[in-house]
Structure 1
Amino acid sequence: MASRILSSVIIGSGSFLPEKAIDNAHFHSSSFFDAQGHSLEGSNETIIRKFQQITGIRERRYADNNMVTSDLGFRAAQRALDHAQIDPETLDYLIVAHNYGDVKAGSGCVDMVPTLAARVKHLLQIKNPYTVAYDLPFGCPGWLQGVIQAHYYLQSGDAKRILVIGAETLSRVSDPHDRDSMIYADGAGAVVLEARESETKTGILSHVTVSDTYSQAHWLRNTHSYNPSLPKDRLYIKMDGRKIYEYALTTVPQVIQKCLQKAGLDLLDIQKVLIHQANEKMDEAMLERLFKLYGHSQVPPGIMPMTVNTLGNTSVATLPTLFDLVNRNQLEGHHFEPGKPVVFASVGAGMNANAVVYQMP
């Protein structure tokens, strides 16, 4: 009789996207400055047009003023639990990936006590004290790192079911006088993972994570507004875009390649590549670099679903939202084929990057 294999499988997914859609015209009246506090040259129409050409972003979502990050995470979690059709009381862990906690509209203040995981568990009205709730700040790769941690719990036998949420309201911590602020958006996504026995391995097949901090630690950071007339004590998210672009272009394809090697798979075995999305051209360049590592000059059409054009960069929420939309056949032209693997990959503050090879059940 064949021995049974323990697999970590996604049994439900959910996402929550705020209703408030902000198109690029919203920024026509903005005052943009560079890092030295000088007004950017050219009209806002020109600045915004170039921004859209580079990033592909034409629209993003902002949370309603009466909502905070844990509210978004709660709604995504509800949908994932409903999709999984399980009792929330049976969860062993509830992990929330985020970077700024609950930032109230207009405050700019980070609020992480109690943890967002505790707040989401409270909103879900889970009474089970053994449903362990904790937060995971790990930059944009935080949700995927939460999935990797969940995988370890499930494989160890310590847990049977785990909810992993990624939620962020980056619109509340972006400098309105920095053109990079147009990248950031709000949203939440979640999955429920379960330990399942089967005759063949499925679900999570392999994972790889790197943390490069020697010279890269502060490429994404918090500093004051670029507007020299504003107080210096309020901090906003800032990035060295060129350095991050070059890092992502080199590191992410290598991490994916190593992850595929650990899984014993070739790139052409993969049906979809789900990459964290902050910049359309950067994602396309990473995918091209990945295929070149395998000696392929052409990227197959339709292998990389995109949401950045209309949802912007929602940090930890990007990957679970992307997965949920494809999983529910709500992203035009994309669906998952059962029994075929997909790749998740993300890169962000730290600098951190990670990848997971996941075989659809």
Structure 2
Amino acid sequence: MQGAQIISIGSAVPDLCINNKEISQIVETSDEWIVNRTGIKERRMLTGTNKSVVDLAYSAAMKALDKIHMDPLELDLIVLATSSPNDLFGSASQVQAKIGAARAVAFDLTAACSGFVLAIVTATQFIQNGSYKNILIIGADVLSKWIDWSDRKTCILFGDGAGAAIIQACYEEDNAILGFQLNTDGKKYNELSITYKENSYSLNTLKLFQGQFQYISMNGKEVYKFAVSKVPASITKCLNALHLSIEDVNWLLLHQANKRILQAVANRLSIDNYKIISNLSKYGNTSAASIPLALDEAWQNNQITKEDIIVVSGFGAGLTWGTVVIKWKC
């Protein structure tokens, strides 16, 4: 078994910033209402002809590579965690081509807001079994393309962004991906989904039906209850397996969904609020991008330092949730 370490990270967001006042011109809401219930003040949206998740993923990936002066040809694998590809067959191969990582295998991973956690775990398995040495993982989403702007329950929440990390093989004693815990409850998939709906009529004599994907649909109350009950249990189970206590944790980094969820999870774990890493107010819910986006910002601001223990948890559509415990080595 080999160890695995995160050796670099980068992030990217679109230029267009939309604040709550502008949202209130679209639907009946207000800045005060949104901030009080979500903690979100503004979010970034991708605009422009032919702009897609690939552009954000490329920018984040290049920043991570440039920080350590790594040639893209050194990459063995690229995992793109996204639920908003610009091609239903996947977008990872387009990122691979755009960054010039011709030697890397590339594939998409779809797990919505838990995507980056699953990408870390997936990359670590490839490294620890000796298959690959250098892996680029990216969490990127452009959910603005799937928002119903007349639905104030969802249109206030989401933003676009991307974050990337490079995970590299290391000696086993230097392993920094300490452990993980993952779960799925498919019976509740419809609490947060983008469903496919067939037309009610066939298009030809063969009686074949076609349809299209709908907008984001979310049962906010159920998602809240799910997150504040399942996430603390996942974190506790993961820490117990590693023989770590809450006191050993330097930082809590949760998927940036809602300020109330972040605080409720921290309270249930008896983790002080100053240990919560959050940039939710500036970017909203960026799905798979939210964790690496917040992690990169915390690193750039010298908020986290070498040897810090970071508990990372993602949760969302599926319903999926999971925890990974990291020792920071950058």
Same fold (TM over 0.5): yes
Quote the residue 2:18 is aligned against.
Answer: 22
- RMSD of equivalent CA atoms: 1.8
Q: Verify: 1:197 aligned to 2:180, yes or no.
A: no
Question: Partners of 2:213 and 2:130 in 1: how far apart?
Answer: 45
Q: Deviations over 1:303-330 (max 9, x none)?
A: 002111111000000001111111222x
Quote the residue 2:295 is aligned against.
Answer: 323
Q: Deviations over 1:95-145 (max 9, x none)?
A: 00000212xxxxxxxx323x21100011112222xx110000012101110
Which amino acid in the other structure matches residue 77 of structure 1? Answer: A
Q: Verify: 1:85 aligned to 2:69, yes or no.
A: yes
Other structure's SS at 1:135 match: strand
Note the C-alpha offset of 1:70: 0.8
Quote the residue 2:37 is aligned against.
Answer: 54
Question: Partners of 2:29 and 2:155 in 1: how far apart?
Answer: 15
Unaligned runs of 5+ in 2: 197-210
Question: Partners of 1:155 and 1:45 in 2: how far apart?
Answer: 49
Quote the residue 2:8 is aligned against.
Answer: 12
Q: Verify: 1:217 aligned to 2:189, yes or no.
A: yes
**Distance change in 2, residues 1:341/1:89 (3 Å):** same
Q: 1:149 aligns with which of 114, 122, 125?
A: 122
**Distance change in 2, residues 1:205/1:271 (3 Å):** same
Tell me if the contact between 2:266 and 2:272 (Cα under 8 Å) persists in the aligned partners: no
Question: Partners of 2:164 and 2:15 in 1: how far apart?
Answer: 18
Quote the residue 2:203 is aligned against.
Answer: none
Note the C-alpha offset of 1:201: 4.1
Note the C-alpha offset of 1:360: 1.6
Question: Partners of 2:77 and 2:306 in 1: how far apart?
Answer: 27
Quote the residue 1:339 is aligned against.
Answer: 307
Aligned length, in residue pairs: 314
Other structure's SS at 2:194 match: strand
Quote the residue 2:55 is aligned against.
Answer: 71
Other structure's SS at 2:33 match: helix
Which amino acid in the other structure matches residue 317 of structure 1? Answer: A
Which amino acid in the other structure matches residue 275 of structure 2? Answer: I
Tell me if the contact between 1:94 and 1:121 (Cα under 8 Å) persists in the aligned partners: yes
Question: Partners of 2:273 and 2:38 in 1: how far apart?
Answer: 20
Question: Partners of 2:85 and 2:109 in 1: how far apart?
Answer: 11
TM-score by length of 1: 0.83
More helix by share: 2
Q: Verify: 1:236 aligned to 2:215, yes or no.
A: yes
Tell me if the contact between 2:299 and 2:305 (Cα under 8 Å) persists in the aligned partners: no
Note the C-alpha offset of 1:281: 1.0
Q: 1:352 aligns with which of 320, 325, 328?
A: 320
Note the C-alpha offset of 1:251: 0.2
Other structure's SS at 1:165 match: strand
Unaligned runs of 5+ in 1: 32-43, 103-110, 225-231, 292-298
Note the C-alpha offset of 1:301: 4.1
Q: 1:250 aligns with which of 211, 229, 232?
A: 229
Tell me if the contact between 2:194 and 2:213 (Cα under 8 Å) persists in the aligned partners: no
Note the C-alpha offset of 1:233: 5.7
Other structure's SS at 1:18 match: coil
Which amino acid in the other structure matches residue 220 of structure 1? Answer: L
Q: Deviations over 1:258-305 (max 9, x none)?
A: 1111221111101101000111011111111122xxxxxxx4242002
Note the C-alpha offset of 1:336: 1.5
Question: Partners of 1:127 and 1:221 in 2: how far apart?
Answer: 34
TM-score by length of 2: 0.91
Q: 1:287 aligns with which of 241, 245, 266?
A: 266
Quote the residue 1:120 is aligned against.
Answer: 95
Question: Partners of 1:218 and 1:238 in 2: how far apart?
Answer: 8
Other structure's SS at 1:306 match: coil
Tell me if the contact between 2:266 and 2:273 (Cα under 8 Å) persists in the aligned partners: no
Note the C-alpha offset of 1:29: 2.4
Which amino acid in the other structure matches residue 297 of structure 2? Answer: L
Q: What percent identity do the matched residue pairs reach?
A: 30
Tell me if the contact between 2:121 and 2:180 (Cα under 8 Å) persists in the aligned partners: yes
Which amino acid in the other structure matches residue 214 of structure 2? Answer: L
Note the C-alpha offset of 1:223: 5.3
Question: Partners of 1:343 and 1:259 in 2: how far apart?
Answer: 9
Tell me if the contact between 2:2 and 2:130 (Cα under 8 Å) persists in the aligned partners: no
